[in-house]
């Protein structure tokens, strides 16, 4: 990267004379006696190696001896060097699941941060990129972030076909009120479970607990996800002055080991387990109630290969987006191959559209409704109901079309 820095003599080295470089910085020089600790590091927001934006000296320049003048001269040359003209580019599509208008999705290429916005059809093109490897990220408020890593760009080359699909952010919340007495001085503790059926990939989780206890310093509290990840929410901290009541981790701090971000990218579907253990004598308490609140996007279990999920029962998982205009997506689950009927009705109970009427294989599936009836006519704004029937199972979901 630019000119080579020659050896600089320095005496009186201390802990304040070095630092660990950030992930997006480059260590140009380190210390002969402390390899890996930066004495000089640079930041460059483009892959062009001829120049950068920041050079940081970790040490007292005035205290340096021979070589410091050459170092300063090289730094000036590096910072003022003219970068070459970038001639590469990246193009593709970024789309919003279930929507007809895909405009205003921000697509950014890293390093560098060059970006473009999609048109209504979802097309984008990022221009003026240097040759190198990029991560391309698509973002829009209230939709999931999606990215593609390792996108190679050559000089004068536009890399095409970098496509992404964003999914609507959704939330699921479920609460239980077990009113479980916590056995005193019993490390085996007590368990309570509940099953989430709303199915998506987790981006964020909050856990609520209402556990009054005469000495919370006796307690260990853990939460385990359907995929078996365990996080210790409370680890024998506190005393007799407070109960465990509130949301982790917006109101209460997670003690660990583990943190709630450990649940990211897991599926919400399945059994969540709360475990509470009392590890000393003479104090009592109760698990009054607890809740799991998950946010995320992208129904999982659909076209997921070896990770495909099979629901334990027939389920109409949801309608997203809702309200919608003009297209929405219905997600449903089938535990075994069977005939499934999925139809849309108006508030008067009249059939509007047949979405599914066929034998469907086991797993989670999606189908879209474009706001039209069986004859292809657009229906008016209003409330509709999606009704699922399969092997004696019946379920319905409200759909709101707004124009």
> What confidence tier does 301 reach under pLDDT thresholds 50, 70, 90?
very low
Domains 88-166 and 171-297 fall in the same CATH topology: no
Question: What's the pLDDT tens digit per position in 317-338?
Answer: 767 777 788 888 888 888 899 9
Provide the token pair at 266: 């897991």
- Domain boundaries 88-166, CATH class: mainly beta
Q: Where are the domains of the chain?
A: 15-80, 88-166, 171-297, 310-401
Q: Is the pLDDT of residue 304 over 70?
A: no
Strand ranges in 142-243 using DSSP code E only, listed in sequence order: 146-153, 158-159, 164-166, 170-176, 180-182, 186-196, 201-211, 219-224, 230-235
pLDDT given at position 51: 82
Per the structure block, which two tokens stand in for 365? 């599936």
Question: Is the sign of the CA dihedral 208, 210, 215, 220 positive or negative?
Answer: negative
Which residue is associated with the tokens 């009186």?
A: 12
Q: Confirm if 354 and 338 have CB atoms less than 8 A apart.
A: no
167-176, 253-262, 362-371 — which one is most confidently predicted on average? 253-262
Burial label for 283, CB within 10 Å (0-12, 13-18, 19+), is middle
Is the pLDDT at 152 greater than 60? The verdict is yes
Q: pLDDT value at position 333?
A: 83
CA distances from 156 to 49, 50, 89, 112, 129 (A): 17, 18, 8, 18, 9
The answer to whether 344 and 353 are in contact (CB under 8 A) is: yes
Which candidate, 210, 186, 192, places its Cα nearest to that of 283?
Answer: 186
Which percentage of the chain shows pLDDT scores above 90?
A: 43
Examine the pLDDT at 302 and tell me if it is beyond 50: no
Q: Top-level CATH class of 171-297? A: mainly beta
pLDDT one-digit tens code per residue, 98-133: 777 899 999 999 988 899 999 988 899 999 999 889
Residues 225-242 have pLDDT tens digits of: 999 999 999 999 999 988
pLDDT band at 66 (very low <50, low <70, confident <90, very high): confident
> Lowest-confidence range among 99-103, 134-138, 256-260?
99-103
User: Domain 310-401's class?
Assistant: mainly beta
């Amino acid at each position: 990267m630019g000119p080579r820095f020659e050896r600089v003599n320095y005496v009186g080295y201390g802990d304040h004379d070095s630092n660990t470089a950030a992930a997006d910085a480059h260590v140009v020089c380190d210390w002969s006696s402390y390899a890996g600790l930066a004495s000089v590091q640079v930041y460059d927001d483009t892959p062009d190696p001829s120049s950068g934006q920041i050079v940081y000296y970790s040490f007292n320049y005035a205290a340096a001896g021979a070589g410091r003048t050459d170092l300063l001269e090289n730094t000036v040359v590096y910072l003022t060097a003219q970068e070459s003209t970038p001639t590469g580019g990246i193009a593709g599509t970024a789309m919003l699941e279930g929507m007809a208008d895909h405009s205003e999705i921000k697509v950014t290429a890293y390093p560098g941060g060059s970006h473009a916005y999609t048109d209504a059809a979802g097309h984008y093109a990022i221009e003026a990129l240097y040759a190198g490897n990029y991560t391309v990220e698509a973002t829009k408020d209230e939709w999931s972030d999606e990215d593609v890593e390792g996108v190679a760009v050559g000089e004068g080359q536009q890399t095409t076909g970098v496509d992404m699909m964003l999914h609507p952010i959704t939330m699921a919340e479920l609460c239980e009120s077990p009113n479980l007495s916590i056995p005193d001085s019993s490390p085996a503790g007590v368990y309570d479970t509940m099953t989430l059926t709303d199915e998506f990939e987790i981006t964020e989780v909050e856990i609520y607990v209402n556990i009054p206890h005469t000495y919370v310093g006796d307690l260990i509290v853990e939460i385990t996800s359907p995929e078996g990840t365990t996080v210790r929410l409370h680890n024998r901290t506190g005393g007799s002055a407070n109960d465990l009541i509130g949301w982790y981790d917006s109101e209460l701090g997670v003690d660990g080991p583990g943190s709630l971000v450990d649940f990211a990218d897991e599926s919400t579907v399945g059994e969540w387990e709360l475990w509470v253990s009392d590890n000393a004598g003479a104090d009592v308490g109760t698990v009054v109630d607890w809740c799991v609140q998950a946010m995320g996007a992208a129904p999982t279990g659909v076209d997921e290969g070896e990770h495909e999920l099979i629901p334990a029962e027939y389920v109409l998982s949801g309608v997203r987006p809702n309200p919608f205009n003009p297209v929405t997506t219905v997600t449903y689950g089938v535990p075994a191959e069977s005939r499934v009927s999925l139809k849309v009705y108006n508030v008067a109970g009249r059939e509007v559209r047949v979405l599914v009427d066929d034998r469907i294989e086991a797993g989670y599936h999606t189908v879209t409704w474009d706001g039209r009836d069986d004859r292809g006519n657009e229906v008016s704004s209003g409330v509709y109901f999606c009704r699922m029937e399969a092997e004696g199972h019946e379920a319905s979901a409200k759909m709101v079309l707004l124009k």
